[in-house]
Chain A
Amino acid sequence: MTPDLLGLLRVLSEAEVRYIIVGGVAGGMHGALRTTLDLDVVYARDRANIARLVAALAPYHPYLRGAPPGLPFTFDETTVMRGLNFTLTTTLGALDLLGEVTGGGSFEQLQPFAESAVVSGFQCSVVTLPKLIALKRAAGRAKDREALAELEALLEERDNPTP
């Protein structure tokens, strides 16, 4: 199934969920060419935001990605309060909800490194390109090295274009 990235973003934004886009979609919004099949967001962990998040996603049947069907998993406020990071499937596509991200911390800690973007008429927040690079470096995954090369080249071209 092709993920409906714009649909997921619209659902979160219209419900006024406080979130910051990180990961491959953030890279794509900054101009990276690598495709991604999931949306990674860092969400604010206050009770009101979690309530909005849970209500917004409920119609799209969030469930633990890779888990066998039939587990006693309910995506509700209690579950989100007790957990932190969730890798989910939804009927709109794969969604990673991060309460904290390596190298970036919580939503509040990441917020100074986020910028606004208007997508299809709705407002969303996306982590800045230098911070995205710092997050990927902090994650320290071997598979990210090639992606990092592209992101750093992108930063060089953006801030200091080749004449």
Chain B
Amino acid sequence: MYTRHMSLRREYELPADPVIEWYKKDVDRTLLREHLKLTPQERLEKLVAFMRSLETLRISRTAR
């Protein structure tokens, strides 16, 4: 099942790490695929916008 990923690890000389593999099961790949459609600039802008939103939420929470 994971043959394609195993060959990828070989290509980049990344030996399998059982802990990382364990965590990998829970990675939401649908979001990653969406992000891969963006340019690096769009990804960075999205990250910055998200951080600003978080900060706004934090401020509004402490202002109550």
Q: Name A residues whose Cβ lies closer than 8 Å to a Cβ of B.
A: 1-3, 5-6, 25, 28-33, 35-37, 117-120, 126, 130, 133-134, 137, 145-146, 148-150, 152-162
Contacts of B9 in A (CB 8 A): 152
**What is the bound-complex CA distance between A159 and B11, given in angstroms?**
11
Nearest CB in chain A: distance from B63 CB, A: 16
**What is the bound-complex CA distance between A2 and B54, given in angstroms?**
9
Instruction: State the majority secondary structure of interface residues on B.
Output: helix
Instruction: State the majority secondary structure of interface residues on A.
Output: helix
Contacts of A148 in B (CB 8 A): 17, 20, 23
Q: Is B61 among interface residues, defined by CB-CB distance under 8 A?
A: no
Nearest CB in chain B: distance from A145 CB, A: 5
| Contact between chains at A2 and B51 (CB < 8 Å) | yes
